[in-house]
Amino acid sequence: MPRRLDFKLILSLTVLIVAISCISGYLNFRMQKDRLVEAMILGADQLCVAVGPGANWRDFCLLPFVTYS
């Protein structure tokens, strides 16, 4: 009887720890992605100020896809 209880306790704790780790990792990933997007937008806005008033950050998103002939 005690051996069966030990196995159930270890399995339950392992599943709980894995679930908490997965949730924590997902939330951390999402937060880092949001910070990266904010940093990219801030950098593009700063670049727009340096280039001139006629440009915005959406113009710079298209720059790698524009071909010059």
Domain range list for the chain: 37-69
Cβ proximity of 48 and 60 under 8 Å:
yes
Q: What is the pLDDT of residue 45?
A: 76
Q: What whole-number distance in Å separates Cα of residue 69 and Cα of residue 40?
A: 28
Cβ proximity of 69 and 57 under 8 Å:
no
> Is the Cα torsion angle 56, 60, 63, 68 positive or negative in sign?
positive
**How much is the mean pLDDT over the chain?**
80
The helices-and-strands tally (H runs, E runs) of the chain is 2, 0
pLDDT in tens, 21-42: 999 999 999 999 999 988 888 8
